[in-house]
Homo-oligomer: A and B are copies of this chain.
Amino acid sequence: MTKNLRLGIDVGGTNASFGIVNSDGEILIKGSISSKGHQTPIVFVDELYKEILGKSGVDFFERIKSIGVGAPSGNFYTGNIEFAPNIEWEGIIPLAKLIEEKFLIPTKLTNDANAAAMGEMMFGAAKEMKDFIMVTLGTGVGSGFVANGKLIYGHDGFAGELGHVVAVRGGRACGCGRKGCLETYTSATGIVRTAYEFLEKKSMKSSLESLEKITSKDLFEAAQNGDLLALEIFNFTGEILGQTLADAAAITSPEAIILFGGLAQAGHYIFAPTQKYFEENLLMIYKNKINIIPSLLNENDAAILGAAAL
């Protein structure tokens, strides 16, 4: 019997998932609660505590020796969630401290993409890698950069905001107040913006015209059915992503770039154009050396495993 267990918690905009993990990266107990509808973070932490204790039982619970939390805009150094646009509490939330005080177990916190990168490094596609980039293509675009075998947190704990690197100077308005950020093009919501733009501009016939509200899943299905406009939308998205990744590669020279999250589920429809434009835009010394690969972890498990590994 493994004595020491770790608790990993992945706080998203809709749900907070948790898992109790042993040292082999097996998730022994799993669950989730809604991350919405709690008046204060304290109420949220109380509910989370009850749910985890209920699922694990006291014996299991007592073997948890550390807690790791992945959360959007999570800061490793402070343990705070700071100004996260997709979380219902505003401002600075000292989540690690609140959890530590309630659970009485040492707690670390980082942003969700860093947690996923950590999970990938411990148990997934980056198992033997010391230099890689993890890119999450979800509602937004997040990233975790690993160099010399360590996550780059940066001076203030906010490193890895690849989603807010400017991919198109003067381009689409971003929720951050700036223009042309990568996530306005290559997130699951960004690609839907492209779809509406293309439907407006292009004269091509498309099955997408009949949809009332387009989702990134619709685009994937249309592409699978050979819809040319959908294929063009993926091509455009891959071009922007490939270009921006080529610039990021020139900074940290990674062994691989791992794509993860909703949009990465579109498989070769997104991977093929991304890799193509990535290679086209790479500086010569990096060409044909850096693979763009999918995550090897289950979507919901990566951040839990990574957070547990903090």
Contact = CB atoms under 8 A, between A and B. Distances in A.
B131 A178 contact: no
Contacts of A227: none
Nearest to A161: B250
A159 B283 contact: no
A82 interface: yes
A117 B300 CA distance: 40
A131 B158 contact: no
Interface of A is mostly: loop
Given A131-B154, A148-B150, A152-B147, A178 B283 contact: yes
A284 B168 CA distance: 18
A251 interface: yes
A160 interface: yes
B252 A166 contact: no
B253 A83 contact: no
A201 interface: no
Interface in A70-125: 73, 82-83
A243 interface: yes
A145 interface: yes
| Interface size class, chain A | 35 or more
Interface centre among A152, A160, A254 (most CB of B within 10 A): A152
A289 B156 contact: yes
A158 B284 CA distance: 11
A162 interface: yes
Contacts of A148: 147-148, 150, 152-153
Nearest to A73: B285
A211 interface: no
A152 B252 contact: yes
A153 B130 CA distance: 11
Contacts of A161: 250-251, 253, 283, 285
Interface string A219-262: 00000000000000000000000010011101111110000000
Interface string A39-62: 000000000000000000000000
A157 interface: yes
Given A154-B252, A166-B243, 13 more contacts: A82-B285, A145-B147, A145-B252, A148-B148, A148-B152, A152-B253, A155-B253, A155-B255, A156-B289, A159-B251, A161-B250, A166-B281, A251-B252
Interface of A: 73, 82-83, 129-132, 145, 147-148, 150, 152-162, 164-166, 168-169, 176-178, 243, 246-248, 250-255, 281, 283-286, 289-290
16 contacts: A83-B284, A83-B285, A129-B155, A130-B155, A131-B154, A145-B147, A145-B252, A147-B150, A147-B152, A148-B152, A154-B253, A155-B253, A158-B253, A158-B285, A162-B250, A251-B252
